[in-house]
Amino acid sequence: MKEKRFLPDGAVVYGGLMLLLLLGVAAFVFRQDFSAWERRYLAGTPENFSLSRWTLNDDMETYLSDQIPFRRQLVNLDSAAQAMTGRAVQLDAWPLGDAMVEKPVQAEQGAMLRRVEALRGLAGDIPCLFLTPPTAGMLRMGEMTAARRVVYEQESALYDFLTAQGGFVSLKEEFENSAEPVYYRTDHHWTLHGAYLAYRAYCRAAGLTPLEMDAFAVTEYAPFLGTTYSRSGLPFARADTLQCAEPLWPVTMTVQGEEETWDHLIFPGQAATYDGYAVYLNGNHGLLTIENPAAAGGTLFICKDSFANSLIPFLTAHYARVIAVDARYYAGTFNQALREAEQADAILFLYSLDSLANDTSIPRKIEKP
C-alpha cells in the first residue's frame, strides 16, 4: 500500500539525487582560491588528475571539502550543532557570553622557563623586559561553569608562575580592574584600551613617563570580526569596533625587503579586508623599523608576535628607533637582527602566553652559544 507523502516519491528521489550532483559539479565550476572568513587558501584542483591515477582520492576529498558550495553555511551549521549538543569546548575558539575566547594554554612550567631563559640570554647586558598579557579567558573565569573555570585556573597559575620570574611585567591586576573591555569579543587580541594599559605598565617598569591617550589620534573601524569568531565557526557574533592610535608626531616606517617608506602606522585600507587587524602597521612583518627623530630615547629592540602591533605606536613616543622582529616571518635569527641593529638600548619580549608556550619558531631564532 502506498504511504501518504508530503512530496511524491519521484520528486524526492530525482530532486535529492540531482541536488547532490549539482553540488558536486558546482564545486568545480565555482572554484575559489581564498577563503576570506577562514583566512586561508583553499585546496586547488588535484594535479595530474586522471581516471587511471586513482590514488589521488585524498586530494579529491580535500578539494571537495574546501570547494563545496555553501561551505561557510555548512561549517556554521556544524559548529552550531556541536555547540547545541554541549560540545562548544571542542570548537577551536570557545563561546563565552557574547564573546569567543581562545582555548586555555597548556604547557609545562619547566619548558616555558627554559624558553624564557633562552630569550633572556639573547639580551646579554642590555636591559630587557618581558610583557605577556593575561588571556581573555583567564580574565572572565567568573562567567564560566565550574568545569571550564578549572582549566583556566590552571592557565592562570601558569601565568602567575611566569610573571613571578624576574623581568616580567604582570598585567593581570591592571586588566582585571579595567572598567573598559581589554579584549575584543571576536578576536584574540587586546583592544586599544588593553594595549594602552600595557603601554603604561611597560613605561612604569622601564622608568618612562607614559603619555595620555589624547596625545594620539584615535580612529575607529567597524564592523570588525576577528580570529576567534572565524575559528569558532559559529554563525552569529556581535561585531567589534576596531580602535587604533596614530602618533601625532612625524614617524617613518620601513619594512625589511620592501622599498617603500611610510609616514604613518595605521593603514585604514586594511580594515575592510579579511584581516582587519592589519590596520596596525599594515600587518605582520619579519623585521620592521620605526623612527621618530624627536624622541629622547635610543633604540628599542622588540621580539614580538602580533600583540605588539597595537602597542608599538605608543612606544614610538619614547624611542628614536623601534626595531620589531617577528620570528614567524623573519628569515634570520634574533641574534643576527640584534647585531645588524648595531645598537640597542633596551629589549622588549612581547608575546602572548600561547606564543610563548607553543610558537616553535621562537626557539629556532635563538643562536646556540
Partner 1 sequence: MVFCSFTFLLFFMPAVLLGHRIMPEKAKRPFLLACSLFFYAWGSSAWLLLLLYVMALDYFGALAMEKFEKRKKAVLAALLVLNLLPLIYFKYAVFLRDTVSVLTGLHIGMASPVLPAGISFFTFQGISYLIDVYRRDARVQRSFVRFGVYLSLFPQLVAGPIVRYTDLEEQLTLPAEVDLQDMRRGMGRFAVGLAKKVLLADAMGRFWGKMSVSLTSAGALGAWLGLIAFSFQIFFDFSGYSDMALGLGKALGFTFPENFDRPYRAQSLTDFWRRWHMTLTTWFREYVYFPLGGSRRGERRRDVNLMIVWALTGLWHGAGWNFILWGVYFGVLLMLEKRFLLRHGWYERLPGPLRQAGTYLLVLLGWGFFAGKWAVFPAMAGLYGFSSAQAALDCLSYLPLLLLCAGICFLPKINIPGRRWAAPVLMALCLAALAAQGYAPFVYFQF
Binding site for partner 1 (CB under 8 A): 2-3, 5-6, 9-10, 12-14, 16-18, 20-21, 23-24, 27, 52, 54-55, 57-58, 60-62, 64-65, 68, 71, 74-75, 77-79, 81, 85-90, 106, 147-148, 150-151, 153-154, 233
In the complex, the smallest distance separating the C-beta of residue 356 from partner 1, rounded to whole angstroms, is 19
In the complex, the smallest distance separating the C-beta of residue 255 from partner 1, rounded to whole angstroms, is 36
Q: How far apart are CA 162 and CA 158, in angstroms?
A: 6
Rounded to whole angstroms, the maximal C-alpha distance in the chain is 92
Q: How far is CA 357 from the centre of its chain?
A: 15
In the complex, the smallest distance separating the C-beta of residue 190 from partner 1, rounded to whole angstroms, is 25
Q: How far apart are CA 22 and CA 243, in angstroms?
A: 44
Q: How far apart are CA 66 and CA 43, in angstroms?
A: 6
Contact between 316 and 300 under an 8 Å Cβ cutoff? The reply is no
In the complex, the smallest distance separating the C-beta of residue 230 from partner 1, rounded to whole angstroms, is 13
In the complex, the smallest distance separating the C-beta of residue 88 from partner 1, rounded to whole angstroms, is 7
Of the CA atoms within 13 Å of residue 319, those in its CB half-sphere come to 25
**Closer residue to partner 1 (CB): 9 or 258:** 9
Q: How far apart are CA 220 and CA 197, in angstroms?
A: 18
**Closer residue to partner 1 (CB): 46 or 283:** 46
**Closer residue to partner 1 (CB): 14 or 249:** 14
In the complex, the smallest distance separating the C-beta of residue 6 from partner 1, rounded to whole angstroms, is 6
**Closer residue to partner 1 (CB): 83 or 136:** 83
In the complex, the smallest distance separating the C-beta of residue 266 from partner 1, rounded to whole angstroms, is 35
End-to-end C-alpha distance for the chain, whole angstroms = 85
Q: Is the peptide bond before 223 cis (omega within 30 degrees of 0)?
A: yes
Burial class from Cβ neighbours inside 10 Å (0-12, 13-18, 19+) for residue 212 reads exposed
**Closer residue to partner 1 (CB): 58 or 125:** 58
DSSP secondary structure letters along 253-273: EEETT---EES-SB-GGGGGS
**Closer residue to partner 1 (CB): 81 or 113:** 81
Q: How far apart are CA 279 and CA 247, in angstroms?
A: 14
| Backbone torsions φ then ψ of 117, nearest 5 degrees | -65, -35
**Closer residue to partner 1 (CB): 57 or 261:** 57
Q: How far apart are CA 60 and CA 30, in angstroms?
A: 16
In the complex, the smallest distance separating the C-beta of residue 69 from partner 1, rounded to whole angstroms, is 10
**Closer residue to partner 1 (CB): 159 or 199:** 159
